[in-house]
Structure 1
Amino acid sequence: MTTQAEVIHEEDKEKESEKHDVAIISPDNEIEAYENRALDLRSVLGIALAFTYEACILSFIVPVVIPLTINADIGPSTQIAWVAQAWTVGGAVTQTVAGRCSDIFGRRNFFIAGNLLGLVGTIVASRADKVNQVIAGTALMGVAGGIQQIAYAAANEIVPRKHRGSAIAFMNVFALPGSAFGSVIAYAIVADLNWRWTFYIGAIANGWAFLLIAIFYWPPGFVGLHPGKTRFQQFKELDFFGLVLFGGGLTCFLLGISWGGNPYPWTSAHVLAPLILGAVTLIVAFPLWEIYSPDNLAKLFPPGVMKNVRGFSLPLVAILISGMSLQSLQILWPQQVQYLFTQVPRTIGWYSLAFNLAATIGIVVSGTMFGVVKRTNWQFFVATLLQTTFIGAMASVNENTPARAIVLVAFASFWVSAAQVIGVLLVQFGVEDKDIGAATG
């Protein structure tokens, strides 16, 4: 039975709603309204301001395709492959750590630091007169790139969940100059100027990214994320031992892979020791620590995340394997073109479009279709199946089959990138929103 007090209360609510011309809604309705809202100018601007992502891509893709040109000028050095590998190692280790720490402390200062570090790295590499100095610069750029790539998480925090795939697609359209045409730009620069300008362009991009983030990007900071707790209190709760296990294990593992074949044989102790040590640390020691370490620590992988095998762990393993293929294509294809097909700089640049442009299209298409084609598990299966097929088919390429090489590299790049994007989106949906940085990293 409705009491008189309840009737009066309902009448007061109706008057209050009419007074403000807005419906009184519950927290659940607020969440539903937020998730179903249209993409407004603020959302689009928030994604576009991830120019940080373009700075990361432009800084890496443009110079990484011309290692032989750099080596011919300030070398020769047997360590020239580390111009690209130093970036990969630095980025791989930093991205996960930065993602988790930015979940805890807020992302703004991390992006500012990443853009500044990218600026410093590009300047160091651009002024180098020895290959080792270029490697030092790209190592700094890699650390910066690991932070800058958290832009995926930052963008997907801004938009409704159903638009996350479209957000990633939009970011890569925005990053089109570097991601798709970076190789063409690089060899055009080499033909008309010199290789140092490939790093100058990255410095300019990082400088602009720093300014845009500093002026426009104001997400919730530490106080908003952890009211009533000081930064020092939160800092003391960080899982430093877990960070050392993960960072050290991954670094050892990647060093072992990088040294294999060149400069050391795969069976040598120089390769096997870091490879085995890194694998045991990552596969055994680190997970055991994450499971049995004290619960009051802010762990690198939050409790419960790794237990979501179907929604997080399995896609993560697939992303890891797919990422190896992506990096191999990106680093080895330009060198393969120079060794097998042509030495003409501009022509090498156009050959490299087979990877860069196809990979960008793969990201844009898969991101856009993720929310349209509902069976995301089948999308992931098809992408991983086709990437395996086309990468395997590349074994049939030789110096007499340039057309076949271009076609196979293009299709392999498309599907490897598609698998990466779909995997990242699945992992993001497999965790709570407060852990999206750790999942993306």
Structure 2
Amino acid sequence: MLNLKPEVDTVEYSERGTIQQNHGRHHHAVVVQGNEDEPGSVYQLSWKTIIAFISLSMANSCAALANTANTVIKFQVASVAKSPADAALASWIANGSFLVVVALGPIFGSLSDRVGKKWFMVCGAILGLIGSIIAGKADNILQIIGGNILNGAANAGCIVSISAIQEIIPNKLRPWAMGASQAMASAFVVLDTFLAAAFVKMNAGGADGWR
């Protein structure tokens, strides 16, 4: 069998040529040449990759937003607590979500490497939407806790987007891509906090405000 091992130092493009095998037939093949940063890679950054990057960054932002439950506990409890027992359950609004993330995060991460990341993120986004609706419309503490547990599962699914971003972006652009993705998540978290404060300040949703 013909052994092709071109010695290339820094070439970052591919060439299409004709390889003649020992049995005489000709086949067209891509001769891949790479450098140390991208060994044997012919991957090119395209507009589809950019759209995928933005989508994955938004999934990462959703995961970051799911972690802000700690900042809104007292507003949620004040509006729906009906007894001291309800107030005693307040810590589970955040802990329910946190414990689910801690439990499912490593499992989802390991499985996504084997079966693919797409449906973990898609299902995570759907669970996050359902959990947010349940927690947002809740009229008792247990419903808020249940909604945030779903948000924890959503967080564990959406956070897979971080590794997905690194897989679709070339090595030399990964630091910039991760910086942009985390900056987007941070911006949404800050905006979310100000929006929550504005809802409280303007008593949005009624005399007692909305959460």
Q: Does 1:145 align with 2:152?
A: no
Cα 1:34–1:66 shift into 2, 3 Å: same
Give the letter for the 1:34 counterpart: S
- Structure having the larger proportion of residues in helix: 1
Offset at residue 43 of structure 1 (A): 2.9
Superposed displacement of residue 176, structure 1: 4.1
| Aligned residue among 133, 139, 158 for 2:168 | 158
| TM-score, length basis structure 2 | 0.72
1:73 partner letter: S
Aligned to 2:140: 130
Are 2:120 and 1:110 equivalent residues in the alignment?
Answer: yes
Report if the CA contact (8 A) 2:17-2:30 is conserved. Answer: no
1:370-427 CA deviation, whole Å, 9 max, x = no partner? xxxxxxxxxxxxxxxxxxxxxxxxxxxxxxxxxxxxxxxxxxxxxxxxxxxxxxxxxx
C-alpha deviation, 1:24, in angstroms: 5.3
Q: Which residue of 2 aligns with 1:93?
A: 103
Question: What SS class does the counterpart of residue 34 from structure 1 fall into?
Answer: coil
- TM-score (normalised: structure 1): 0.37
Alignment of 1:322-401 (within 5 A): none
1:33–1:196 distance in 2 versus 1, CA, 3 Å: farther
CA contact (8 A) 1:34 1:160 kept: no
Looking at structure 1, the residues matched to 103 and 114 of structure 2 have their Cα atoms a distance apart, in angstroms, of 18
Is the 1:66–1:187 contact (alpha carbons within 8 Å) kept by the matching residues of 2?
no
Counterpart amino acid of residue 138 in structure 1: N
**Cα deviation, residue 189, structure 1:** 1.4
**Structure 1 residues 185 and 177: alpha-carbon distance in aligned structure 2, compared to 1, 3 A threshold:** farther
Partner residue of 2:63 out of 50, 56, 61: 56
CA-to-aligned-CA distance 1:331-356 (integer Å, 9 cap, x gap): xxxxxxxxxxxxxxxxxxxxxxxxxx
1:70 alignment counterpart: 76
Work out the number of aligned pairs and report it: 179
Correspondent of 2:180 among 161, 170, 177: 170
Alpha carbon RMSD of aligned pairs, Å?
Answer: 3.1
Q: CA deviation at 1:58?
A: 2.8
* 1:175 aligned counterpart, secondary structure: helix
Aligned to 1:335: none
Aligned pair in 2 of structure 1 residues 109, 38: CA closer, same or farther (>3 Å)? Answer: closer
Query: How far apart, in 1, do the equivalents of 2:147 and 2:158 lie?
Result: 16
* One-letter amino acid of the structure 2 residue matched with residue 44 of structure 1: I
1:234 corresponds to = none
Q: Which runs of 5+ in 1 are unaligned?
A: 1-12, 18-22, 199-441
Between the aligned residues of both structures, percent identity stands at 22
Q: Return the offset for 1:48.
A: 0.3
Structure 1's 72 and 161: CA in aligned 2 closer, same or farther, altered over 3 A? same
